A and B are shown apart, each in its own frame.
Chain A
Amino acid sequence: MSAKQSATKGPQEPLAAGTEVTYLEAIRQGILREMDGSPEVFLIGEDIGTYGGAFRLTAGFLERYGAERVIDTPISESGFVGCAIGAAMMGMRPVVEMQFIDFIACAFNQIVNFAAKNHYRWGQAVPMVIRGPSGGNVHGSAFHSQNPEGYFLHAPGIKIVAPATVEDAFGLIRSAIRDPNPVLFFEHKYLYRRIKGTLPEGEGLVPIGRARVVREGTDLSVITYAAMLHTALEAAERLAAEEGIEIEVIDLRTLKPLDDETLVASVKKTGRALVLTEEQKTGSVAGEVAARIAENCFAWLDGPVQRFCCPDTPVPYSPPLEEHYRPNVERLCERIKRLANY
Chain B
Amino acid sequence: MNADPYQALVMERSRKPLFARRPHGTDAEGEGRNRMCGDAVHVFLARAGMHVGHESEGCAILLASADLMAEAVAGKSRDEVFELQRDFLAMVKTGQEKPALGALNALAGLASFPARQRCATLPWDALSEALNNG
Q: Do A and B come from one complex?
A: no
